[in-house]
């Protein structure tokens, strides 16, 4: 199948980030393709929208399609790599980091999808509210969704960043430590 035959998901809840797309592009350039994308029976992308887009930009034109009904795990085997190879270890790091950097929820799409889907196994009610109704946190509306519901007292730190990339780096470092952070542009 041709990569150009795949159709992007118009209701993808992950908007992606420029930094994430850059990480995927660099990974494809440096290590080649490693992870599969997921399509439905009609060639619509279910998962891997950003990877498919970056693969096209990297000049990858062909797609190997493995058909399954979901009852078996599909493993992609890179015959040119061994775990003793630094390239394989690099690909493992690039894969995980690109996934981490590339996630930015589309609040409107996620809220729309949450009407028909049970997202509880993947989001707590509080997490879903933080994403889909960020104003509820900023206005101090009562209830467990607000910061007031989590802590008796609140303490904040303002970080002045040079640019958006610096802001993203600081945000990732702080959230990586398990801290609740909110990005505010002034």
The model's pTM is 0.68
The reported pLDDT for the residue numbered 1 is 93
Task: Decide if 19 contacts 76 (C-beta within 8 A).
Answer: no
**pLDDT at residue 155 greater than cutoff 70:** no
Summarised one tens digit per residue, pLDDT across range 96-116 is 999 999 999 999 999 999 999
Buried b (16+ CB within 10 A) or exposed e, 114-130: beeeebeeebeeeebbb
The reported pLDDT for the residue numbered 143 is 46
Integer Cα distance of 79 and 60 in angstroms = 18
What percent of the chain lies above the pLDDT cut of 70?
88
**pLDDT at residue 139 greater than cutoff 90:** no
What is the DSSP code (8-state) at residue 41?
A: T
Summarised one tens digit per residue, pLDDT across range 33-73 is 998 999 999 999 999 999 999 999 999 999 999 999 999 99
């Amino acid at each position: 199948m041709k990569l150009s035959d795949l159709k992007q998901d118009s209701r993808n809840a992950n908007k992606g980030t420029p930094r994430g797309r850059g990480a995927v592009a660099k990974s494809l350039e440096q290590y080649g393709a490693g992870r599969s994308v997921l399509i439905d029976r009609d060639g619509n992308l279910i998962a891997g929208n950003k990877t498919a887009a970056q693969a096209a930009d990297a000049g990858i034109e062909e797609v190997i399609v493995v058909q399954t009904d979901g009852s078996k795990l599909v493993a992609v085997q890179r015959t040119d790599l061994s775990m003793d190879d630094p390239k394989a270890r690099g690909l493992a790091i690039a894969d995980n980091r690109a996934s981490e950097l590339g996630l930015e929820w589309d609040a409107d799409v996620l809220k729309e999808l949450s009407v028909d889907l049970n997202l509880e196994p993947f989001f707590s009610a509080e997490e879903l509210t933080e994403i889909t109704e960020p104003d509820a946190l900023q206005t101090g509306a009562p209830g467990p969704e607000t910061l007031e519901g989590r802590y008796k007292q609140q303490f904040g730190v303002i970080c002045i960043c040079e640019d958006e990339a610096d802001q993203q780096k600081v945000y990732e470092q702080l959230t990586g430590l398990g801290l609740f952070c909110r990005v505010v542009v002034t």
